[in-house]
Amino acid sequence: DAGVIQSPRHEVTEMGQEVTLRCKPISGHDYLFWYRQTMMRGLELLIYFNNNVPIDDSGMPEDRFSAKMPNASFSTLKIQPSEPRDSAVYFCASSLAVPGRSDTQYFGPGTRLTVL
């Protein structure tokens, strides 16, 4: 399997612009997670989906952030409008939940976002 795929790997944009980050989870996985990593705050869970349905979005910082999962093989994280403080590495991860067993989350390579 190709693993979790994220695009773009790097994104540089100007304040106020819309940014869309993309993720393709591992085929067959039914959970998808979006994380943000910064030096100041470490790894933060933003939102996660189960079977394409958002389960917990309590980590989404504000209304400028939105995430969708239109089908089992694709998810987007959108920031509109972007601000310099959104600069971070954004990771997508997926997992397969097996009842009674621990599930492992597999991470993508991340998208490094820089907002000028």
Partner 1 sequence: GDSVTQMEGPVTLSEEAFLTINCTYTATGYPSLFWYVQYPGEGLQLLLKATKADDKGSNKGFEATYRKETTSFHLEKGSVQVSDSAVYFCALRSNDYKLSFGAGTTVTVRA
Among 50, 66, 76, 114, binds partner 1 (CB under 8 A): 50
Q: CB 3 → partner 1: shortest distance, Å?
A: 9
The one segment of 11-19, 48-56, 64-72, 76-84 that binds partner 1 by CB under 8 A: 48-56
Whether 39 contacts 95, CB under 8 Å: no
Please check whether residue 71 is in contact with residue 52, taking contact to mean a CB–CB distance below 8 angstroms. yes
H or E element at residue 77: strand 74-79
> Is residue 87 near partner 1 by the rule CB under 8 A?
no
Among 77, 108, 113, 115, binds partner 1 (CB under 8 A): 108
Return the closest-CA partner of residue 4 out of 109, 102, 88.
109
Cα distance between residue 113 and residue 16, in whole Å: 14
Does 1 sit near partner 1 (CB under 8 A)? no
Q: Does 74 bind partner 1 (CB under 8 A)?
A: no
Point out which residues pair with 54 in neighbouring strands: 49
Query: Shortest distance, CB of residue 51 to partner 1, whole angstroms?
Result: 12
Number of neighbours of residue 45 by Cβ within 10 angstroms: 16
DSSP category for residue 58: T
- Residue 12, interface with partner 1 (CB under 8 A)? no
Applying CB under 8 A, the residues found at the interface with partner 1 are 4, 31, 33, 42-43, 45, 48, 50, 55-56, 91, 93, 95, 97, 101-110
